[in-house]
């Protein structure tokens, strides 16, 4: 199996630090989107949603994020959409976080009520880059669906390049149910929690 280069993001939150910080595996792709046609309850230009994300990300190009530590639909959707909409400015360092685990182990993520996230400090990687490019369509469609009232149909092209495997700092807390029990410890997410 090929070694995958990784990068770890620094904690940038201004909120109180939790006792335990986890690092979640996430694929990040440079994304170019062309929406040819869209059918919805509102009259909006077909490419308006991605154009807004692109403008807010400037001068950086927009990224599409795919959580790689779980296959749970709700977590992939909520966390992926949150990262795409936030377009965080990450301070990245090469390699894994200080406490290392094997990236070659594929672990089914479980999230039982009493047991926490099902892994220690560093999450497993359950999606390869190739699998993540397929799941990226799901994340993109979730972004469109959240931003477009009554989205019924969409004809689009999604061009992904770059495929970087990142580990993002997060805190696991069941109170943050809207984000599938995770809060990213990044300043872009500080306004989203009480």
Q: pTM for the whole thing?
A: 0.86
- Tell me the β-bridge partners of 172: 182
How far from chain centre, in Å, is Cα 162?
Answer: 15
What integer pLDDT is reported at residue 45 of this predicted model?
81
The H or E element spanning position 60 is none
Q: What distance in Å separates the CA atoms of residue 59 and residue 146, rounded to the nearest whole number?
A: 24
- The closest of 38, 74, 36 to 149, measured between CA atoms, is 38
Place of tokens 């090469």: 94
Q: What distance in Å separates the CA atoms of residue 156 and residue 162, rounded to the nearest whole number?
A: 20
- The closest of 89, 55, 102, 106 to 168, measured between CA atoms, is 89
What integer pLDDT is reported at residue 102 of this predicted model?
45
The H or E element spanning position 113 is none
pLDDT per residue, tens digit, the chain (194 aa), is: 466 789 999 999 998 878 789 999 999 999 999 988 888 777 778 888 899 999 999 988 999 999 999 999 999 999 999 999 999 999 999 999 875 444 433 333 334 444 567 788 999 999 999 999 999 999 998 998 887 777 788 888 999 999 999 999 999 877 665 667 888 999 998 876 54
């Amino acid at each position: 199996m090929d070694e995958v280069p990784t990068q770890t993001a620094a904690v940038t939150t201004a909120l109180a630090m939790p006792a335990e910080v986890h690092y979640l595996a996430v694929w990040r792709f440079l994304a170019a989107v062309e929406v040819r046609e869209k059918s919805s309850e509102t009259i909006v230009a077909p490419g308006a949603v991605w154009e807004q994300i692109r403008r807010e990300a400037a001068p950086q190009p927009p990224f599409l994020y795919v959580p790689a530590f779980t296959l749970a639909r709700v977590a992939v959707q909520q966390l992926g959409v949150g990262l795409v909409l936030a377009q965080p400015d990450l301070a990245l360092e090469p390699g894994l976080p200080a406490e290392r685990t094997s990236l070659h182990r594929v672990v089914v993520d479980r999230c039982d009520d009493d047991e926490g996230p099902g892994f220690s400090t560093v999450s497993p990687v359950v999606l390869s880059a190739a699998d993540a490019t397929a799941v990226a369509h799901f994340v993109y469609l979730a972004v469109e669906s959240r931003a477009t009232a009554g989205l019924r149909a969409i004809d689009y092209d999604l061009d992904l390049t770059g495929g970087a495997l990142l580990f993002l700092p997060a805190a696991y807390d069941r109170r943050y149910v809207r984000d599938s029990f995770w809060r990213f410890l990044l300043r872009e997410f500080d306004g989203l929690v009480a």
